[in-house]
Amino acid sequence: MKEWLLTTLGTAAAVLLVLPITGRAAGGEPQAFYRPDTPKFPQARTWVAQKAKLPPYKAPRTPDGVPNLQGNWNGPVGGGNDDLEEHEFIDVTTPPQESYVSDPPDGKVPYTPWALAKRNEIRAGLGRGWPGEGSQRLYGDPNALCLVGMPRISFGAQEILQKPGAVILLTTNTYRVIPTDGRPHMSSDAKSFFGNSRGRWEGETLVVDVTGLNGETWFDSAGNFYGPNTHMIERWTMVDPNTIDYEITIEDPTLYTRPWKMNYPKRRAGTGPGANPLSTNAVGAAGRAPASDPYAKEFWEQTCTEGNHDNVVILKSLGFKWFNAVVAPK
Amino acid sequence: MKRWFVVSTAVFTVACSVLAAMPAAAQTAGTYTPPRTREGQPDLQGVWQALNTAAWDIQDHGASLGVPAGRGVVDGNAIPYTPTALAKKQENFKNRDALDPINKCFLPGVPRVTYLPYPFQIVQQADRIAILHEYSRIIRFIYMNGNPHPAGKIDWYMGDSRGRWDGNTLVVDVTHFNDETWFDRAGNFHSDALHVVERFTRTGPDHMLYEVTVEDPKVFTRPWKMSMPLYRRQEKDIELLEYECGAYLLKQEWEKPDSALLR
């Protein structure tokens, strides 16, 4: 079994490896396979144009008088976050897709020259059989080792709960608690995968300021990265009863020439383009179960590390290195 | 003991809010009436933590390097193993540093997750309670939506939790376990026939009694119980931080040519 895997993986490496694992980030979404003629998935460009035409919307309020974002929300609809920037068909798991980046308008991450070279170096070492790859394997997607961080956790589906002084995001196997009670940040010297989140309400919008990120995970599986000095600001705004406009600003003068933004809609489970109206659970392992199933809304145990041993051993034996946070030279 | 407690409590509570000084013997499910949530349930919400040595050994034990001595949390201290199971427990104990499943940073099972030395946060909804653990960002859902345990057999690390209210006590019935977790570092173990019933009872504004009944006919001759107080973390702006066990372990093991884990 192991030998067969190694042989196959020598050629198809990351395609096979990454599949079961992107499932975690996507909250249990079954992996789709695409053809070269798959139409391009819309992301930021299409969404920015669409939302410009939406009438003003005032969300219902919670008993605490703040916008009520509670419910079960999908991540961005599309071919996954295999590559943040606009791209054509690359392989069966990477269909053509617009960029997630809404600002700058060209959809490119505004890396400094050094950071762009670094990103390209990482990409050339992905070992995925992508065009332009070098012969050396460098890093696998940290997500393939069950490492999840910001902002990729937001790319998946989640349930939003609100309590006095806090917004809580739940998935089948992890969570974020965002205090909205005005408490100060911890020192940003205290690094973590999810960082230190502080929320506040600005009219219709939940603004979440995230500091203390360790920079040890990526934005996507194609090597677009941030670092331990990166600061993220999320803006969650309901723009109709079933849509949250999710915008995140990324700031890090050591890696990017200017702050930049990603923007996409999160649709309430069972709504939005291509949704199954009978599916009431975007998050759970039973996410595709019809609403008539009494367990359809439950989140059942979803493991990652526990079943990932063979993937880890294979990635290591293929020569992939550990991805440590990238710090730009002074 | 009780009288000492009643007299000293008034002074104690006002004087300081040092949690650890609360005598465990005073932690009996008594007459305290907890506040209610908006949905009308007893409010168990907040950030809690066990303050004992049960994660190392749920029975009375002396100290060793890195392990504080401790009073056990098992009622009567003895665990009613079958003779075969007792031999396995002793073998586990001998090899605990190598065999403790928590070494792999996998999900630690119930009830061990509750008394790991990390805080956890209880979040209540009308038909579901979520327990968010700092340890490995584990999320545990307790369903109170009327659904029974799903049909088995299911091998889950954390089991399937179904809750109900018995007065002010949250009673959680947990089943569908695998046999890959231990109760502690000392090799106390169970099989996939484990059945756990937990009782969470607020005993005061900042204290909660946690009682566990353990049943496993493949390993124990009869059900047995453990109990311990849980303490509300008092720090201003307390919040769950991050302990990504799997990430730290993997990072450490990745570069080791002789890593036993990555073989």
In this predicted model, what pLDDT tens digit does every residue of B96-133 receive, in sequence order? 999 999 999 999 999 999 999 999 999 999 999 999 99
Q: Contact A31/A19 with Cβ under 8 angstroms?
A: yes
Q: Taking CB atoms and an 8 Å cutoff, what residues of chain B touch A322?
A: 251, 254-255
- The token pair at B165 is 């209210």
CA of A175 to nearest chain B CA: how many angstroms apart?
7
Q: What is the pLDDT of residues B210-223, one digit of tens each?
A: 999 999 999 999 99
**Coil/strand/helix, residue B231:** strand
Choose among A147, A168, A175: nearest Cβ to B247: A147
List, for residues B129-177, the tens digit of each pLDDT value: 999 999 999 999 999 999 999 998 999 999 999 999 999 999 999 999 9
User: Looking at the DSSP assignment, which residues form a beta bridge with residue B210?
Assistant: B200, B228
- A–B CB contacts, 8 A cutoff, strictly below: 87
Cα distance between residue A310 and residue A81, in whole Å: 24
How many angstroms separate the CA of residue A299 from the nearest CA in chain B? 7
Closest CA–CA distance from residue B70 to any residue of chain A (Å): 31
Distance of CA B143 to the CA centre of its chain: 18
CB atoms within 10 A of CB B173: 18
Identity of the residue numbered A242? N
pLDDT tens readout for residues A280-317: 566 654 455 666 788 888 888 888 888 888 889 999 99
Residues in chain B whose beta carbon is closer than 8 A to a beta carbon of chain A?
Answer: 38, 45, 104-107, 121, 123, 125, 130, 132, 137-139, 141, 143, 145-147, 150, 156-158, 160, 237, 239-242, 244, 246-247, 250-251, 254-255, 262-263
Note the ipTM here.
Answer: 0.88
CB B233 within 8 A of CB B207: no
Nearest to A161 among B125, B157, B237 (CB): B125
Taking only residues 153 to 182 of chain A, the set having a beta carbon closer than 8 angstroms to any beta carbon of chain B reads 161, 163, 168, 170-175, 177, 179
pLDDT (tens, 9 = 90+) of chain A, 330 residues, equals 233 333 333 333 333 333 333 333 333 445 678 899 999 999 999 999 999 999 999 999 999 999 999 999 988 888 778 899 999 999 998 999 999 999 999 999 999 999 999 999 999 999 999 988 988 999 999 999 999 999 998 888 899 999 999 999 998 889 999 999 999 999 999 999 999 999 999 999 999 999 999 999 999 999 999 999 999 999 999 999 999 999 999 999 999 999 999 999 999 988 887 766 656 566 654 455 666 788 888 888 888 888 888 889 999 999 999 999 999 998
C-alpha B159/C-alpha A151 separation (Å) is 30
Burial B80-101, CB ≥16 within 10 A → b, else e: ebeeebeeebeebeeebeeebb
Confidence at residue B124, expressed as pLDDT on a 0 to 100 scale: 98
Query: CB-based contacts of B97: which residues, under 8 Å, 6+ apart?
Result: none
Is residue B202 within a helix (H) or strand (E), and if so which, with residue range? strand B195-204
Is there a contact between A179 and B239 if contact means CB atoms under 8 Å apart? yes
Residues facing B173 on adjacent strands = B162, B197
Q: What is the pLDDT of residues A226-278, one digit of tens each?
A: 999 999 999 999 999 999 999 999 999 999 999 999 999 999 988 887 766 65
> Which whole number is the average pLDDT over B178-204?
98
Contacts of A64 (CB under 8 A, 6+ apart): A162, A164
Cα separation, B176 vs B182, whole angstroms: 15
Asked if the model's pLDDT at residue B13 lies above 70, the reply is no
